[in-house]
């Protein structure tokens, strides 16, 4: 199928990336990491595309982060240093990890002796070595060892067991969601907690070579957290409504939109577009403003309701009255889950479609 050359010809709903904005986002983060001497290991769950991972690596990324084995398999085609920020527990997972090309350096984040032993057993049997980062809970309360003694015990086991190599610690500050100008107290707490873990490991001769952290909302404050050696932002490549609402990017930095067509204006106060929950996702905004997305060029117009294939634009705060067939571009609340709903993304310069790529690492199958 021939790619449409201009946005007006693209069938909707469609995932569209403004390439100039994306490149600026990539450059900004790469510049910050370099300036702060932090390794940048972007989380590829946001774009799930080897083409975009290559763009990140070309800008100096030390490697990539993945959340699934499928992502690891896809990213291995362009990257030889992969952090799986998820314990590979369950049938076939370690097996698939060990089947990655031999030149790929693999590191896994985990927080249990069970996960460690499963990996060590299979890796030793296969004559491989898998790197291990001990996952710390620094306030998100999702995963992570709860205290320094547990971190020391797990790190010691990783040192001792054949098939695995202890490489350091990792954490995810996903609980720090305040506006960027109000994050300092949470980051100071995190800094103190992290220092306690590092000191305990140090005392036991287990000083972490890698201290991996970072997220998009906290990215540009990473230098305030002592001991960090690398950051793993993912969302920053595209940004989204949530990121803009927290002040971690400007509205004009949102590179990804869902292109949609107005299909109905019959009901007063609203217009209906052909992008519903199956194009945008039903993620709530974690900040004031509500709705499931907002128009890129009319931020006051939000998506107030969703069916699977219908998005309801709220027209009560605007004089704009769209006509049937008019095209709009919607910035989703959470870009990573929207990207994951699309087979293909188009890259545009202005209104011209200049490239496209598949969201190759979707799903879980090999």
Ligand X SMILES: Cc1ncc(COP(=O)(O)O)c(C=O)c1O
Q: Which of 240/274 has CB closer to ligand X?
A: 240
Q: CB under 6 A: which stretch of 125-133, 154-162, 211-219, 310-318 binds ligand X? A: 211-219
Choice from 85, 97, 119, 152 touching ligand X (CB under 6 A): 85
Choice from 48, 128, 232, 346 touching ligand X (CB under 6 A): 232
Burial class for 2, CB neighbours closer than 10 Å (0-12, 13-18, 19+): exposed
Q: 112-117, long-range: CB within 8 Å, 24+ apart, which pairs?
A: 112/87, 112/154, 113/153, 113/154, 113/157, 114/89, 115/87, 115/88, 115/89, 116/154, 116/157, 116/158, 116/161, 116/164, 117/157, 117/161
Residues 6+ apart with CB under 8 A from 19: 255, 347, 348, 349, 354, 355
216 binds ligand X (CB under 6 A): yes
Choice from 16, 21, 43, 50 touching ligand X (CB under 6 A): 43
234 binds ligand X (CB under 6 A): yes
Buried b (16+ CB within 10 A) or exposed e, 306-343: beeeebbbbbeeeeeebeeeebbbbbbbbbbbbbbbbe
Rg (CA), the chain: 22
Choice from 88, 168, 208, 233 touching ligand X (CB under 6 A): 233
CB of 232 to ligand X, least distance (A): 4
Q: Which of residues 50-69 bind ligand X (CB under 6 A)?
A: 65
Q: Number of residues in contact with ligand X, rule: CB under 6 A?
A: 12
Binding mask of the shown chain, residues 131 to 170, with x at each position contacting ligand X by CB under 6 A: ----------------------------------------
172 binds ligand X (CB under 6 A): yes
235 binds ligand X (CB under 6 A): yes
Contacting positions for ligand X (CB under 6 A): 43, 65, 85, 172, 215-217, 232-236
């Amino acid at each position: 199928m021939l790619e449409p050359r201009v946005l007006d010809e693209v069938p909707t709903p469609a995932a569209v990336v403004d390439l100039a904005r994306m490149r600026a986002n990539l450059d900004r983060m790469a510049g910050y990491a370099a300036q702060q001497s932090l390794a940048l290991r972007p989380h590829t769950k946001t774009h799930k595309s080897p083409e975009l991972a290559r763009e990140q690596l070309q800008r100096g990324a030390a490697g990539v982060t993945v959340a699934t084995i499928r992502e690891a398999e896809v990213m291995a085609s362009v990257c030889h240093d992969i952090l799986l920020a998820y314990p590979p527990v369950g049938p076939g997972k370690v097996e698939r990890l060990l089947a990655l090309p031999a030149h790929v350096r693999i590191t896994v984040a985990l927080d249990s002796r069970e996960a460690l032993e499963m990996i060590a057993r299979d890796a030793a049997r296969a004559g491989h070595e898998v790197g291990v980062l001990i996952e710390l809970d620094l306030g998100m309360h999702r995963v992570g060892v709860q205290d320094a003694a547990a971190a020391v015990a797990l790190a010691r086991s990783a040192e001792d067991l054949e098939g695995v190599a202890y490489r350091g610690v990792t954490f995810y500050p996903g609980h720090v969601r305040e506006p960027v100008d109000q994050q300092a107290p949470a980051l100071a707490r995190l800094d103190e907690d992290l220092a306690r873990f590092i000191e305990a490991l140090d005392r036991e001769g287990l000083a972490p070579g890698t201290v991996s952290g970072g997220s998009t909302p906290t990215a540009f404050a990473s230098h305030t957290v002592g001991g960090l050696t690398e950051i793993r932002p993912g969302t920053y490549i595209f940004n989204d409504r949530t990121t803009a609402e927290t002040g971690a990017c400007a509205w004009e930095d949102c590179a990804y939109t869902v292109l949609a067509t107005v299909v109905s204006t019959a009901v007063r106060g609203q217009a209906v577009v052909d992008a519903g929950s199956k194009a945008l996702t039903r993620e709530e905004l974690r900040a004031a403003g509500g709705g499931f997305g907002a128009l890129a060029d009319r931020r006051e117009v939000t998506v107030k309701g969703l069916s699977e294939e219908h998005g309801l634009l709220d027209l009560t705060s605007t004089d704009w009255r769209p006509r049937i067939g008019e095209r709009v571009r919607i910035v989703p609340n959470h870009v990573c889950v929207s990207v994951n709903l699309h087979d293909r993304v188009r890259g545009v310069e202005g209104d011209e479609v200049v490239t496209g790529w598949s969201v190759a690492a979707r799903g879980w199958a090999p």
